[in-house]
Amino acid sequence: MTVDTQTVEFKKNTVFVLFGASGDLAKKETFPALFGLFSEGVMDPSTKIFCYARSNLTVQQLRDNCAQYCRPSTTGNDKAKMDQFFKMVTYVQGNYDTDVGFIKLRGEIEAFEKERGVTEPHRIFYLAIPPPIFLTVASHLKNNVYAENGITRLIVEKPFGDDLETSRELQRGFKPLFKEEEIFKIDHFLGKDDLKRLLAVRFANPFLGATWNKEYIEQIEVWFKEPFGAEGRGGYFDPVGIIRDVMQNHLLQILTIATMEEPVAYEAEAIRDAKVQLLKCMETLGPKNVVATGQYTNSLDGKLPSYLDDDTVLDKNSKCLTFTEITMDIKNERWAGVPIVMRAGKSLDEDRVEIRMKYKKNTHGMFPGVTPNMFVIQFHPERKIYMTFNTTAPGFVDNLHQVSLDMAYSKKYAKDWVPEAYERLIRDAFLGNRANYVRDDELDVSWAIFTPLLQYLEGPNAPAPEIYPYGSTGPKGILE
């Protein structure tokens, strides 16, 4: 087994503050990621974790809340490791809109640093809180808990605005408080091991790179399918919709890394420069790019509810999109003329997130018209990379058929610790590595691409979303 611990790179006595510690995100993602880093020997045990929220909680209650979401360690002995981990955790109750709680938090942080003899504080603040209070908390944080004589890093969860203008407003609000290099804007898809591996697959294999262009690729497809709806999350999802939820961020990140030019170096800014350059070649989206929109209704057997039946969806006339299919174009020498299809939907027939590079048909030679090859990166339900090849089956008859050469993580790395997205991203924040975080200019360009589309689909001339049954393949006519 190979585990890259790199604990030597972690600064001793780092303070990690989790705002919104009582919320769902903290319970299901942040705490399990922190425990994963600790249990695998990645997090330095001198780290101190301060949890901050309005609720009156104990550390034991925090442990009880998140324990079921923490995955087993590759080396076992999880009970003892969890005991050790929660000895590193302290809980501070306080409001987000007054200084009182932040002053109390500062006192506890400074007491810890004094006890450990820290002269250059290293403080990481994680905002697992609703976007409307980002700037309120950031302001109180800067005034009361900022590491004046050390290092401060601020991790901000998406969404980063609702469109281009609100995204810029958020950026303007953060600007007088923190330097850009201190802000880590998190899109958890960027932390997935598959995207990191895609960089190596693309740029470390010349034979593949030689065909990664319009001369060989017929079409690019990005698919996001969830077999469940917005149950219990309607209050969040209804004003957001499927485009803001996954397409403008997660799926665009996948597409960008799959299609960008090779960065000039394997380092953070070079990778992010290459992403921005690619995004600048994408056309602005509008009415002509819309293939289908939809909203799910009850399942055909009536057992599963419609979107509007959800108690947390307050507007019973909501036109919120739970399915969208669009086409996109990249106007550069590599991809001009290659159609790109992006589809995302909830309450569909399966769980699948992937990008497919569909190769052109063979039109001449010994085997004209054979089934085209495909190169696929799959994120769900299983992590794997595979490519389809044409060959003949054993026997006397030349029975041409297609097989997959695949690398499934569950087989290839069965005994290895494969970091989850939040584990990788939080580790990067500890180390100051911003390669897998979103830069301001990238946000600007991505919102500029999608904002006209959102304005059309949410405007007076928007097409009515097609109703499709819960558990189906989506609106009529959607083909893979």
pLDDT of residue 1: 33
**Same domain? 128 vs 194:** no
Residue type for 7, please?
T
**Banded pLDDT at 124 (limits 50, 70, 90):** very high
pLDDT of residue 401: 76
pLDDT of residue 369: 73
- DSSP reduced 3-state for 340: strand
The catalytically annotated residue of 122, 250, 380, 401 is: 250
**Same domain? 37 vs 89:** yes
Between strands 15-19 and 122-127, the pairing is: parallel
**Same domain? 150 vs 41:** yes
| Predicted TM-score (pTM) of this structure | 0.88
Residue 423 falls inside a structural domain = yes
CA–CA separation, 201 vs 203, rounded Å? 6
CB 15 within 8 A of CB 109: yes
Report the CATH number that the domain containing residue 342 is assigned in CATH. 3.30.360.10
Residue 371 falls inside a structural domain = yes
Lowest mean pLDDT among 96-110, 365-379, 418-432: 365-379
Mean pLDDT over each residue of the chain, to the nearest integer: 90
Nearest to 42 by CA among 464, 438, 423, 435: 423
Write out pLDDT tens, residues 362-392: 887 787 778 889 999 898 888 888 888 888 7
**Banded pLDDT at 9 (limits 50, 70, 90):** low
**Same domain? 263 vs 317:** yes
Residue 166 falls inside a structural domain = no
**Same domain? 142 vs 226:** no
pLDDT of residue 7: 41
CA–CA separation, 59 vs 66, rounded Å? 11
Write out pLDDT tens, residues 152-166: 999 998 888 899 999
Domain total of the chain: 2
CA–CA separation, 255 vs 249, rounded Å? 10
- For the cut 50, the answer to whether the pLDDT of residue 230 exceeds it is yes
pLDDT of residue 384: 85
**Domain span at residue 103?**
7-157
**Same domain? 258 vs 152:** no
Strand partners, 122: 151
- For the cut 80, the answer to whether the pLDDT of residue 122 exceeds it is yes
Calculate mean pLDDT across residues 314-328: 96
Calculate mean pLDDT across residues 110-137: 95
**Same domain? 139 vs 206:** no
More confident of the two residues 115 and 388 = 115
- For the cut 70, the answer to whether the pLDDT of residue 178 exceeds it is yes
Helices (H), ranges, 117-250: 134-144, 164-174, 193-203, 206-209, 234-237, 241-242
- For the cut 50, the answer to whether the pLDDT of residue 8 exceeds it is no
pLDDT of residue 5: 40
More confident of the two residues 335 and 74 = 335
**Same domain? 275 vs 421:** yes
Residue 165 falls inside a structural domain = no
Task: Give catalytic status of residue 250 as yes or no.
Answer: yes
